Amino acid sequence: MENSEIRHNWSQEEITNLFALPFIKLLYQALAIHQKYFPNATIQISSLLSIKTGSCPEDCAYCAQSSHHKSMIKTHDLLNIETVIAAAKTAKANGVTRFCMGAAWRLPPEKQFEQILKMIKEVKKIGLEICMSLGMLTKSQSEALKIAGLDYYNHNLDTSPEYYKKIISTRTYDDRINTLKNLRDADIKICCGGIIGMGESVEDRISLLHQLVNFPERPHSVPINYFIPMQGTPLANVNSIDPLDFVRTVAIARILMPRSFIRLAAGREKMNDELQALCFCAGVNSIFCGEKLLTAKNPTVEKDRQLLQRLGFIWM
């Protein structure tokens, strides 16, 4: 494990063996690796704003923003720059260091892409790191985002290659991999993870982690989402995952990617403090703050501050 950060040849069998470890031994191993690479008790804080909500042509079975589903969410077109700047200033005042913007697109439309580039430039003036999630990207779009000053781009794999076709049919796994390649070629840091609890098997979780750990360059941030069933979507009635299985997945992500930020993303509103504390012990060192993540609820900033203070973490 000492040189795990430089390995890009993890086998599925090795990851399977990690899943088979007794829970306490796995947690101990993850915590030891986390302490080695992140010795300071700091939590990286990001904020997420939906700059364009709903009417997405993709058919992701988990997503309330898909035009294929009847989720009854409030949709809106691309926000104006003034609204985005105001949200970014509020985020910074709350101690956020990274401001993330998400838009429900398959691919950013050219007629609005210039406005996206302007948003990046204006938010950079506030003094925040910037992450965006706009769907798939072409090579030229990736390069333009880099020139505009984009620091990070979020493009999750969501699940394993094997389970993917049961979740999405409007884009392929290779489409996602190609966008990630375009981002790496443009020298934009990658934020890439998945969603746990969509009805996938343990083997699917192993396969997802196998994909992430063997990228040519590790994701800088790895968001791990605790699946929240959304009304009106095909996965609205999926049974909840065992919370300890979720923690186990987090711990293995930390072991496999010791230098990455492991982010506890969507689903924290459904977690009690004890479950979140276990996730922090398993290697989480990044969260989203703010009362809403795209269309899902999130704990309040004050509630997060209180929890992190009780656990002895520093808001970074």
Q: What is the DSSP string of 151-198?
A: -EEE---BS-HHHHTTT-SSS-HHHHHHHHHHHHHTTPEEE--EEE-S
Give the pLDDT band (50/70/90) at residue 83.
very high
* DSSP-assigned states of every residue in 261-308: EEEE-TTGGGS-HHHHHHHHHTT--EEEESSEETTEE---HHHHHHHH
pLDDT at 295 over 60: no
**Overall average pLDDT of the 108-113 stretch:** 91
- For the stretch 168-218, pLDDT in tens is 999 999 999 999 999 999 999 999 999 999 999 999 999 999 999 999 889
Is 60 designated active site?
yes
Give the pLDDT band (50/70/90) at residue 305.
confident
Is 279 designated active site?
no
* One-letter amino acid for residue 30 of the chain: A
Is 289 designated active site?
no
Is 191 designated active site?
yes
2 domain-assigned: no
Tokens at residue 46, please?
């990001």
Candidate list 98, 100, 192, 218, residue with the active-site label = 100
pLDDT at 67 over 80: no
146 domain-assigned: yes
The pLDDT of residue 126 is 92
43 domain-assigned: yes
Average pLDDT over the chain reads 90
How far is 97 from 316, CA to CA, in rounded Å?
7
Query: What's the CATH number where 127 sits?
Result: 3.20.20.70
Give the pLDDT band (50/70/90) at residue 316.
low
1 domain-assigned: no
Candidate list 56, 279, 281, 289, residue with the active-site label = 56
Domain extent, residue 287, equals 9-315
Number of folded domains in the chain?
Answer: 1
Candidate list 98, 171, 176, 191, residue with the active-site label = 191
pLDDT at 5 over 80: no
Candidate list 131, 192, 279, 289, residue with the active-site label = 131
220 domain-assigned: yes
pTM score, two decimals? 0.91
Candidate list 176, 218, 263, 268, residue with the active-site label = 263
- For the stretch 225-242, pLDDT in tens is 999 888 889 898 899 899
